[in-house]
Structure 1
């Protein structure tokens, strides 16, 4: 569970256990790259990725319309602070740092990105971990890394040479994972959590569409139907 972010107006967390927006999903993206992982470098790329995959923020009025009312009513400054803790990108410049974070957070579901060279070292250490949701190799020349990568073809989600292709694929995969979290909450009758997860998934898929993902329409329709179903169901009193 995310650490409660406290308001400057008091010591109580701005959300209750029922509305712990940092605990509705459990995913995070880990990117290991000696260049991108360094501080104060490639800020435009980092900002672009953050803005595209962070579900706790809305980038335009249309996204505000998608957000669940419970999130719209939350303290937006606190949500912004929380967005640096959960559902975000964690950058590391060395395999040791990145692997340490993964091992220190066994409850997190990891979407993993690395260069081809680092991937050759790290991917063999990831394939046995159930927390790994996706492995993405971002490199300039795929053919250069095909020899080692072929041994992990069933584990590597994609090998990509362009950052926009990487972001498009990553955004879709996170959206589909968040949809499954919504399904789990719905099954448990945690309808407020389900509503938020479905709304987040739709928001992510719309962002992917803007990046050029032409396969989002049916996915958005499917998740919208699920969202409509939970909207028509009464929320348990404990979810308020």
Structure 2
């Protein structure tokens, strides 16, 4: 693995999660759930919080406010209870790749507005293909199908938090892999930035395999090969500079 001399800086991930939900958006509620989503989707977090642990049920039963302590974690999640604040967050973070979670009820009004105003946020700038990175989190999927049909190129629907989290982790990993390949295609290749994104991809893919109990041997093999190639290029560049 390259040392500090060959990888001169370490970037912060440029993605974030925006969550719109009357209950989950309340700062005093569902803090463990939000902490799990934030840390699990952050590839730089060395000890991500598990979605379910021994005191999870008790945490969700607490009605009063709980102190929020993210232990210095770079917080990648912003949660809101109303559409206006959510839209303001989109407007202030147009430089980021946003993964948007919404409840079914608020999403009915929010999704059309957000797609109209921030369509580029959900569109690949190179291929012009839509990103399926709007996640509707609801109790009954059948009630959301009609809404989703109008935005089927952008929406995925879930009724279980673990399924949503694992899918989003995979999607974020795929995003970093695509970004790394494009950085390597630049002239000259941006090897340092590509290295970080490949490392993030590998970490997120590992988390996905653990959550879903599936193999990603082919995908991880591709990432490992790219990392090996980039490391060799970085070593060569470092030797030339010495």
TM range, smaller chain: 0.7 to 0.9
Structure 1: which 4+ aligned runs deviate by more than 6 Å?
none
Q: CA offsets per residue over residues 133-165 of structure 1, 9 Å max, x none?
A: 411101000111222222211221x10000000
**TM superposition shift of 1:184:** 2.5
Task: Determine if contact 2:10/2:196 at 8 Å carries over to the other structure.
Answer: no
Task: Determine if contact 2:137/2:157 at 8 Å carries over to the other structure.
Answer: yes
Q: Does 1:209 align with 2:209?
A: yes
- 1:234 alignment partner, SS class: helix
Rg larger for: 2
Instruction: Evaluate the alpha carbon distance shift between residue 115 and residue 107 of structure 1 in structure 2; reply closer, same or farther with a 3 A threshold.
Output: same
Task: Determine if contact 2:192/2:234 at 8 Å carries over to the other structure.
Answer: no
**TM superposition shift of 1:127:** 2.5
Provide the aligned C-alpha RMSD in A.
Answer: 2.2
**TM superposition shift of 1:182:** 1.4
**TM superposition shift of 1:102:** 0.3
Partner of 1:113: 101
Partner of 1:4: none
**TM-score where L is the length of structure 2:** 0.75
Task: Determine if contact 2:24/2:30 at 8 Å carries over to the other structure.
Answer: yes
**TM superposition shift of 1:41:** 0.9
- 1:140 alignment partner, SS class: coil
Partner of 1:126: 114
Task: Determine if contact 1:120/1:149 at 8 Å carries over to the other structure.
Answer: no
**TM superposition shift of 1:117:** 0.8
**TM superposition shift of 1:111:** 0.7
1:179 to 177, 180, 204: 177
CA distance in 1, matches of 2:99, 2:114: 11
Partner of 2:127: none
| Structure 1 residues not aligned, in runs of 5+ | 1-17, 61-79
- 1:90 alignment partner, SS class: strand
State how 1:34-49 maps to structure 2 within 5 Å: 34-49=22-37
Q: Does 1:90 align with 2:75?
A: no
Partner of 1:220: 220
Q: CA offsets per residue over residues 28-84 of structure 1, 9 Å max, x none?
A: 111111111111211121121122111221128xxxxxxxxxxxxxxxxxxx75712
Partner of 2:200: 200
CA distance in 2, matches of 1:215, 1:92: 35
CA distance in 2, matches of 1:214, 1:111: 23
Aligned residues: 197
Partner of 2:164: 166
**TM-score where L is the length of structure 1:** 0.75
